[in-house]
């Protein structure tokens, strides 16, 4: 680390913003595992939530979502 504070700051910024020389493997075993876990939850999530809610709760949620969508179109 340089003793000059300006050079030290410049080096810190350079190290923080530079891309790594070793690209991260996109298809690593960890990435594949996490994708599988996320997919599993996503597939059953909506159906399980709908099953747990009453008809009136689902209606209220749908009304609220529609209101938000229409409000966003008015901007």
**Residue 20 pLDDT:** 66
- How far apart CA 74 and CA 66 sit, in angstroms, is 13
Digit-coded pLDDT (tens) for 2-49 = 889 999 999 899 888 887 666 666 668 888 888 888 888 777 888 888
Gyration radius (Cα) of the chain, Å: 24
**Stated pTM of the model:** 0.41
Residue 55, pLDDT > 90, answer yes
Residue 10 lies in a domain: no
Residue 51 lies in a domain: yes
Q: Where are the alpha helices (DSSP H) in the chain?
A: 5-17, 29-52, 55-73
Residue 30 lies in a domain: no
Residue 60 lies in a domain: yes
**CB of 61 closer than 8 Å to CB of 53:** yes
């Amino acid at each position: 680390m340089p003793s000059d504070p300006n050079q030290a700051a410049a080096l810190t910024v350079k190290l923080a913003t530079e891309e790594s020389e070793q690209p991260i493997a996109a298809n690593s075993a960890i990435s594949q595992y996490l994708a599988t876990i996320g997919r599993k939850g996503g597939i059953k999530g909506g159906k399980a939530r709908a099953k747990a809610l009453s008809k009136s709760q689902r209606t209220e949620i749908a009304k609220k979502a529609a209101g938000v969508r229409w409000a966003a179109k008015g901007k």
